[in-house]
Structure 1
């Protein structure tokens, strides 16, 4: 986490548009059948291991990833740094009202943080030029986009050069948690790498999506054999 935050701050200082992806097992498996998403992940400026499965896969394959860097936790670290260093943040995505609630929560928990704009994730293609102009005119250092995987990654990849924002991150359900409409797993489950189980128990509708986890394990084991 410390290294990821350091890289984020270096990217902000460099003022060049950078795309950060938060990859978990589900996203990696999605990329196996989605060439556009696969290309985005391979070309991202930084990919953090947002999932215990990715950390396990790296270790199993002989690569060193010391810890999980959950997207939600990375966002909190960025907000903490933003309050201290005057970074400007833009929230884009979520259901109507969610980004506003997340903004209020952030301003309460990170005194002095500058959330320079919010916009929900419901829009038509005709709205995109106006959204892009709104973001650009707010001049953020960090753009957090919660449109869901893979829509958020694809939207950012298509528009990042035009947006010109130093840091752009797809953050999934982060705003929902900050707004208090979705609960995160208890700390002990996070530390035991059981956050996936908590999500499954609290959101049974995710069951089909969770089937990606055993397929991911089999894919990793098969890949190592080759």
Structure 2
């Protein structure tokens, strides 16, 4: 993924020689001091075609929309890692080593199966999961033994910045899913969905088939599985051979379930993805892009489910930051 082009000089903007909001990823368009996708780049979520997104925005720009770009870029810049932060490869954050990768690096490593007769286990972690692992020995062990631990969300990015670490990209499952589907289809890997309430994974699978014709989804199951059904499902997955399995049951259940039932599935890559199926199926609305560009996706979700999410986001985020401060002090 190419870095942005140098920004236009502010004096040229003031003299009317360059636009305040213009291109920085599209060489064919006038260079601006700010890009319409500036905030996404600063927050490590440069998903999609940034060049094309710039072109679409600039074709219909208005002063009000430009003000929104400036506001979101200012917030994103304030949330970006400080200039002295280092992009350490595998920093320890609260309760686990987290892999600090770009989107391209993460995709390449995800599609490299583990050697031997075992599965490759790849959990996504957010502050809530790391808070749980700080007091749950079984989850802590599962994260320690995972092949990759991918950072999910603005909380991880902010916590790492407080520790002097610049996280490269926010590797959340919802944004990464279309990239994984495209790669799986290109490589001929089938994809398996396991998790959420009955019907949710099926709805997610239908949307994936529409968006990615030719993507094989041979096994789709809800996540309420007793022992016998879990073992039968694990056997069916093992017989697929090389495949990508997404398990969405929430932490710590999904990490422990994947470790218990799928760790012996040779050539299989297993990602634990939390509430991904709920979002992609449309069961739960995702925060608008403007909210995500200011690092406020967590607040949008809190407003959607205040009773269920208050403890996780209000108390949990504070606890995570306190743990970051304690780690920094040590």
TM-score relative to the length of structure 1: 0.93
Match of 1:172 among 269, 274, 279: 274
Match of 1:209 among 297, 312, 315: 312
Question: Is 2:224 the counterpart of 1:122?
Answer: yes
Question: Is 2:155 the counterpart of 1:37?
Answer: no
Match of 1:99 among 201, 205, 210: 201
Aligned residues, how many? 226
Bigger-Rg structure (1/2):
2
Paired position in structure 2 for 1:4: 106
Q: Once the two structures are superposed, what CA deviation does each residue of 1:96-141 show, in whole Å capped at 9, x if it has no partner?
A: 1111111110000112111111111112123222121222234451
The alpha-carbon deviation at position 15 of structure 1 amounts to: 8.3
The alpha-carbon deviation at position 85 of structure 1 amounts to: 2.0
Q: Once the two structures are superposed, what CA deviation does each residue of 1:61-118 show, in whole Å capped at 9, x if it has no partner?
A: 1223122111222222111111222111111111111111111100001121111111
SS of equivalent to 2:112: helix
Q: Gapped runs of 5+ residues in structure 1?
A: none
Q: Which structure: greater strand fraction?
A: 1
TM-score relative to the length of structure 2: 0.65
Question: Is 2:152 the counterpart of 1:60?
Answer: no
SS of equivalent to 2:270: strand
> 1:88–1:139: 8 Å Cα contact kept in structure 2?
no
Match of 1:135 among 237, 242, 248: 237
Give the Cα separation in 1 of the matches to 2:188 and 2:200.
23
Paired position in structure 1 for 2:289: 187
Give the Cα separation in 1 of the matches to 2:188 and 2:115.
12
Paired position in structure 2 for 1:221: 325
Question: Is 2:269 the counterpart of 1:158?
Answer: no
Greater RCO between the two (CA within 8 Å, min separation 6)?
1
> 2:279–2:286: 8 Å Cα contact kept in structure 1?
yes
Question: Is 2:178 the counterpart of 1:76?
Answer: yes
CA RMSD of aligned residues (A): 1.8
Q: Which structure: greater helix fraction?
A: 1
Q: Once the two structures are superposed, what CA deviation does each residue of 1:143-198 show, in whole Å capped at 9, x if it has no partner?
A: 11111111000011122333234210111111111211111111111121111001
SS of equivalent to 1:162: coil
Give the Cα separation in 2 of the matches to 1:4 and 1:97.
29
Give the Cα separation in 2 of the matches to 1:4 and 1:155.
23
Give the Cα separation in 1 of the matches to 2:278 and 2:267.
23
Paired position in structure 1 for 2:24: none
> 1:117–1:138: 8 Å Cα contact kept in structure 2?
no
> 1:142–1:168: 8 Å Cα contact kept in structure 2?
yes
Structure 1 segments of 4 or more deviating over 4 A? 12-16
The alpha-carbon deviation at position 12 of structure 1 amounts to: 7.5
